[in-house]
Amino acid sequence: MCGICGQLRFDNQAVSTNDLHIMKQKIARRGPDGSGEWLDKTIGFGHQRLSIIDLSNYGAQPMVNQALDLVLVFNGTIYNYKALRVELIKKGYEFFSQSDTEVILKAYAAWGEDCVTHLDGMFAFCIWDKKQQYLFVARDRMGIKPLYFNLTDKAFSFASNTQSLISIGANTDINSVALQQQLSLHAVVPAPNTILEGVKKIKPATTLIIKPNGDIKETTYWQPKAQRPEVALSDADYIERTHELLTQAVLKRMDAADVPIGVLLSGGLDSSLLVALLHEAGHQDIRTFSIGFEDIGDEAGSEFEYSDQIVKRFNTRHQKYVVSNSQVLPRLGEAIANMAEPMVGQDAVAFYLLSEQVSKHIKVVLSGQGADEAFAGYFWYSRMQAESGTEVERFSKHYVDRPYEEYLQTINTKYHSGDHTQAWLNKEFSKANADEFMDKVFRTDITRLVVDDPVKRVDNMTMAWGLEARVPFMDYQLVEHALSIPPSLKMAEEGKHPLKQISRGLLPDSVIDRKKGYFPMPALKYVQGEFLEFMSDILTSSTCINRGVFDQAFVQKVINKPEQYMTALNGSRLWHLALLEYWLQINVDGNK
């Protein structure tokens, strides 16, 4: 796990060493264990290393293989690297390291562009192929590892975060397509867009070939189906296969590391099941970590009641952290400075503060993201199913944060450029290879929406402290299977029926049957007191007014009665606006 950056110039100018250094500084927290760079006239790579596999210098990057005329920078982990290494040795390739990085290099040498179909893992990497004279860029199937880029007529620049690209002059004008999606899909801006005109991101399951003349070829190498298998399975078969694939997903993520691994234990079903499966597979010394916040009214700020039960049952080595609301505001700016894009999820700050503590003890953790999307864990799914209207109308009523009419009131007319959210959803729901409406919902959620919401949040907030988060529920083989399960089976027992069945006898029934929690941080949901004052100050500041994004009259209505402006998913619309403006002030204005 690392931070990567680099540039390929189209104008025959040499890559600036100074630009490379500036970009590396912006990704330094992702890789505190080492730093490297490689330049060859019009091409240059930078790397910040977090040492997890092959801790020796042989695993350092950028990795150069002179015999093959290849240079690589890579962020992520390849879980099947040991098996691939054996296969490649049989093909005649020799290895100088024990790293998964070198396996990618040799896999590319052996299979070319098709190498990505052999890789099982989370990854974003760039290879300079000196013989072919082009840059090969790839992102993993599920989009777990980020990769941003800036494309001009002079150069293609890439990095693990937007801050690196802003620092070397990427256009920071607001992208009106992304702006509407940001404010309607609770901060999800689907690739290739970001909130900034000059910063794009590689789509999941995508490769690019970029030539020195600026020509670009884009290829999608994986598209999962949301259909039943040709040979019908029984409910028991679906559940047994889920158990098998989830166990494999957990164990392969434990195996691919030369350092200890822990679990972020929220107390919910998903993270608790990860601990149970580790124990079931024979792991005895399991390390777990939990965080909690202050209650607000009837809204609980922690789930220790449940995480403590898991700790007791499996005798884990546990560390528990409690954060008062008075600690949240002073640290909010730090967390936002480490967001590659604006993220409104109230658990972002929680993950940031938790990761700070966990990183003092361990380098790799398992996390439960993706389970709700893959196995129907959210309350809005049943509402969508029962809704009438077109497929997009059924989805939007219970997911989209603000109707388009309200969006037009919220934003100044300069950014009124069409209902881009509706257009994007129409495109997603018109894709083939889905048996029914809810199959389309789950496919859109697990392959598109989850990428730019919870998964991105966890990557950014953990990597801000040099902590690698692995997400077994996002294993692509498990996701393929989950998408084949009949929605009625996943949605039984108010959702996640297959996971609940697996958990019976492994976990306490009180954890399995509890009402779903959402890694609570009430202060950013029920906005009042100093949090309301803070958000009001941001949105009425001269900086915000001069930026000219929001309609100030409408913003004042939201400030006056924030409790009346909650989203379909019970989020605060006021926080959505304040977060976006604060992110721009810190990451754009602060980097000019």
Q: Are 221 and 439 in contact (CB under 8 A)?
A: no
Rounded-to-integer distance, Cα 591 and Cα 166, Å = 7
What token pair was written down for 459?
């990557």
How many C-beta atoms lie closer than 10 Å to residue 342's C-beta?
Answer: 22
Angle, CA of 352, 355 and 357, to the nearest 5°: 120
Helix (H, G, I), strand (E, B) or coil at 295: coil
- Clarify whether 126 is annotated catalytic: no
Rounded-to-integer distance, Cα 539 and Cα 258, Å = 47
Helix (H, G, I), strand (E, B) or coil at 214: coil
Helix (H, G, I), strand (E, B) or coil at 589: helix
Helix (H, G, I), strand (E, B) or coil at 189: coil
Write the DSSP symbol of residue 572. B
Dihedral (Cα; 498, 513, 515, 479), 10-degree rounding? -10
Give which of 331, 362, 344, 178 is closest to 259, Cα–Cα. Answer: 362
Give which of 174, 173, 175, 179 is closest to 404, Cα–Cα. Answer: 179
Instruction: Give Cβ neighbours of residue 336 (< 8 Å, ≥ 6 apart).
Output: 342, 579, 582, 583, 586, 587
Give which of 78, 79, 43, 77 is closest to 62, Cα–Cα. Answer: 43
Instruction: Give Cβ neighbours of residue 513 (< 8 Å, ≥ 6 apart).
Output: 500
Give which of 150, 189, 147, 190 is closest to 172, Cα–Cα. Answer: 150
Q: How far apart are the first and last CA of the chain?
A: 29
Runs of H (alpha helix) within 430-528: 437-444, 456-463, 476-484, 487-491, 497-503, 509-512
What token pair was written down for 590?
């602060």
Give which of 104, 62, 53 is closest to 254, Cα–Cα. Answer: 53
Q: Are 459 and 145 in contact (CB under 8 A)?
A: yes
Rounded-to-integer distance, Cα 118 and Cα 107, Å = 8
What token pair was written down for 325?
């609301």
Instruction: Give Cβ neighbours of residue 76 (< 8 Å, ≥ 6 apart).
Output: 1, 121, 122, 123, 124, 125, 140, 144, 145
Catalytic residue among 2, 5, 115, 126: 2
Rounded-to-integer distance, Cα 74 and Cα 3, Å = 8
Segment holding 207, helix H or strand E: strand 206-210
The DSSP bridge pattern shows strands 43-49 and 2-9 to be antiparallel
Q: Are 401 and 569 in contact (CB under 8 A)?
A: yes
Which residues are catalytic, by number? 2
